[in-house]
């Protein structure tokens, strides 16, 4: 989608935001339009003329804020639900479906608003926050758990999760389009600095509660984790998870680097495959060193680092974008590659 104008500040272009939102919907839904921007973070296209050091500081700041906020939310604010008869972890599975729904909303907003600051925020939300929020390697790991109960349940779980996530992405798109068309979406977007302040405040409050609040806020008190021989408290465990999530996100930006508009996103595939390989290696380590499962570094490496390295919502969104731009054959290939890769690793994760 071509830019109508470049704004020099966070408040520029607010008065005509509503017109830009409505006119942009036609461009998004037009199958003949250029392929929309994929959820990648490109530093060189955001603020031309600024020093690289300042741009890098902003890049790190925004990535860390979104990654830490997502880690705090998924670790401390999500209840544990499980389906008794099948053993399916409903909590994490629902996150993998809600993530693409939010991706659809952010994708539509990114392509609708004329404010460059909010376009940038949407890109970081999609690539960083949802990179931590969703987890491809969890889906594969959990399918390995389910394979021990029923051989057919594992592939069914993977395919159904991906299908539900694809539908959720389209629902997110349609919801925001409907809101814009019916004037239900706010006409004036606030300065984006409020978003960064909220993320910082939210993460700080969660860490403070983990530090002085009741036990069980971060993890089940029965699941003790150690750093060597030292028992790790919940606040430190949360901070280790935040560091691991940030590390996984930055590594995913390196492994997944590339432009894949109009084709299969091999960058996301490399990230997803790498995350599962790291997961298999971590489980192999725990096989030879049984006490490693109680080490907080190993535990957070599996749950936070590998989960953040994977790009589940990106894989779903790029597949659906291909389908919506009349490239259905490539969309099927993209879906098939993502699903087949997951199925290949199930035997290595079956317990």
In whole angstroms, what separates CA 5 from the centre of its chain?
29
193: CB partners within 8 A, 6+ apart = 10
**Element counts in the chain: helices (H) and strands (E):** 14, 2
The structural domain count of the chain equals: 1
Would you state the pLDDT for residue 12? 42
Identify the burial level of 31 via C-beta atoms within 10 angstroms of its C-beta, where 0-12 means exposed, 13-18 middle and 19 or more buried.
Answer: exposed
Cβ atoms within 10 Å, residue 176: 21
- What CA dihedral angle connects 185, 200, 274 and 272, to 10 degrees? -10
Identify the burial level of 221 via C-beta atoms within 10 angstroms of its C-beta, where 0-12 means exposed, 13-18 middle and 19 or more buried.
Answer: exposed
The answer to whether 147 and 162 have CB atoms below 8 angstroms apart is: no
Residue 301 CA to residue 320 CA, distance in Å, equals 30
Residue 153 located in a structural domain: yes
Number of residues that make up the chain? 351
Distances, alpha carbon 171 to alpha carbons 101, 164, 258, 320, in Å: 6, 10, 28, 12
Would you state the pLDDT for residue 189? 85
The answer to whether 17 and 113 have CB atoms below 8 angstroms apart is: yes
Q: What is the pLDDT along the chain (351 residues), one digit of tens a residue?
A: 444 333 444 334 434 444 445 445 544 444 444 444 444 554 544 545 556 788 899 999 999 999 999 999 999 999 999 998 888 999 999 999 999 999 999 999 999 888 899 999 999 999 999 999 999 999 999 999 999 888 899 999 999 999 999 999 999 999 999 998 887 777 678 899 999 999 999 999 999 999 998 888 887 666 767 676 677 888 999 999 999 999 999 999 999 988 888 889 999 999 999 999 999 999 988 888 877 777 888 889 999 999 999 999 999 999 999 999 999 999 999 999 999 999 999 999 987
Would you state the pLDDT for residue 54? 84
Residue 113 CA to residue 115 CA, distance in Å, equals 6
Residue 252 CA to residue 246 CA, distance in Å, equals 10
| SS3 of residue 10 by DSSP | coil
Residue 115 located in a structural domain: yes
Q: What is the domain extent for residue 272?
A: 18-28+50-349
Residue 208 CA to residue 18 CA, distance in Å, equals 39
* Token reading at 349: 């994760």
The answer to whether 242 and 210 have CB atoms below 8 angstroms apart is: no
b/e per residue 72-104 (b: at least 16 CB within 10 A)? bbbbbeeeeeeeeeeebbeebbebbbbbbbbbb
* Token reading at 329: 């054959």
Would you state the pLDDT for residue 149? 86
The answer to whether 10 and 115 have CB atoms below 8 angstroms apart is: yes
Residue 122 CA to residue 348 CA, distance in Å, equals 36
Residue 5 located in a structural domain: no
| SS3 of residue 94 by DSSP | helix
Would you state the pLDDT for residue 93? 97
The answer to whether 238 and 245 have CB atoms below 8 angstroms apart is: no
Residue 99 located in a structural domain: yes
Percentage helix, strand, coil for the chain under 3-state DSSP, each rounded to 5:
70, 0, 30
Residue 34 located in a structural domain: no
Residue 10 located in a structural domain: no
Would you state the pLDDT for residue 228? 67
Residue 11 located in a structural domain: no
* Token reading at 59: 């890049």
Cβ atoms within 10 Å, residue 289: 11
Residue 9 located in a structural domain: no
């Amino acid at each position: 989608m071509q830019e109508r104008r470049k704004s020099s500040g966070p408040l520029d272009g607010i008065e005509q935001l509503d017109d830009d939102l409505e006119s942009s919907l036609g461009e998004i839904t037009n199958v003949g339009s250029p392929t929309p921007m994929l959820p990648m973070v490109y530093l060189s296209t955001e603020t031309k003329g600024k020093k690289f050091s300042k741009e890098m500081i902003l890049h790190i700041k925004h990535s860390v804020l979104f990654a830490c906020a997502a880690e705090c939310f998924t670790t401390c604010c999500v209840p544990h639900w499980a389906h008794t008869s099948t053993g399916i972890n409903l909590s994490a599975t629902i996150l993998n479906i809600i993530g693409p729904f939010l991706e659809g909303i952010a994708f539509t907003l990114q392509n609708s608003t004329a404010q460059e600051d909010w376009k940038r925020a949407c890109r970081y939300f999609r690539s960083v926050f949802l990179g931590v929020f969703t987890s491809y390697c969890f889906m594969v790991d959990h399918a390995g758990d389910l394979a021990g109960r029923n051989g057919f349940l594992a592939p069914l779980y993977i395919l159904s999760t991906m299908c539900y996530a694809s539908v959720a992405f389209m629902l997110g798109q349609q919801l925001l389009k409907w809101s814009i068309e019916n004037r239900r979406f706010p006409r004036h977007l606030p300065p984006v600095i409020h978003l960064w302040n909220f993320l910082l405040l939210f993460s700080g409050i969660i860490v403070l509660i983990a530090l002085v609040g009741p036990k069980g806020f971060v993890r089940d008190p029965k699941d003790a984790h150690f750093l060597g021989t030292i028992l790790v408290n919940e606040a430190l465990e949360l901070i280790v998870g935040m560091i691991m999530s940030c590390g996984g996100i930055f590594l995913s930006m390196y492994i997944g680097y590339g432009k894949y508009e109009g084709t299969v996103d091999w960058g996301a595939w490399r990230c997803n495959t790498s995350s599962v390989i790291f997961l298999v290696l971590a489980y192999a380590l725990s096989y030879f060193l049984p006490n490693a499962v109680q080490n907080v570094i190993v535990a957070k490496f599996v749950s936070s680092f590998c989960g953040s390295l994977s790009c589940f919502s990106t894989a779903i969104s790029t597949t659906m974008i291909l389908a919506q731009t009349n490239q259905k054959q490539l969309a099927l290939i993209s879906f098939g590659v993502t699903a087949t890769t997951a199925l290949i690793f199930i035997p290595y994760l079956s317990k």
